[in-house]
Amino acid sequence: MIHLIVGNTGAGKTTYANELKRNISSLVFTLDKWNKLLFLPDKTDKDGLDWFLERIDRAELLMQNLILQLEVSNVDSILDVGLSKFAHREKYRKFAKEYNIQIKIHFLNISKEIRQERVFKRNLEKGETFEFEVSEDNFEFMENWFETPTKEELQNAIIIKE
């Protein structure tokens, strides 16, 4: 099974994914960690959103290969990979359908105020889920970037509210 962890910045996706992992036989894919290790050291000031999106696509091709291997071993995949856009979530729904893998959406529907407080606290404390600082501008960008899951997407989903 593939678990899609969906929520805007600061919703607690990584914390939730790690807690879910403790309860089921699974592996967590946290894209922020991959970005920090694989891509951020090479990023220049000239590199923008398209630069990141290209690298995310490549990393996700590797993740998909690993998901298929895990599925054969009856190990669930937990995707903490952003999933901010409908099209991104749809990509995984199509992938799962193509390979006959069950999928479950977990939507963390947390208010902007709580998420913003969490992000700025995480920036200061640099705790377990900290990978890089999220500025106020980045936070606001993600507010506008995020597409709330549709009613259809949320059928049979697990919805977490504050």
How do residues 93-147 score in pLDDT, each as one tens digit? Answer: 999 999 999 999 999 999 999 988 878 887 777 777 766 667 788 878 788 889 9
Mean pLDDT over 52-81 rounds to 93
Question: What domain count does the chain have?
Answer: 1
Range of the domain at 148: 2-161
Whole-model pTM?
0.84
E strands in the chain: 2-6, 26-30, 76-80, 103-109, 158-161
Residue whose C-alpha is closest to residue 108's, from 69, 161, 43: 161
Cross-sheet strand order for the sheet of 76-80: 26-30, 76-80, 2-6, 103-109, 158-161
Q: Which CATH number fits the domain that encloses residue 140?
A: 3.40.50.300
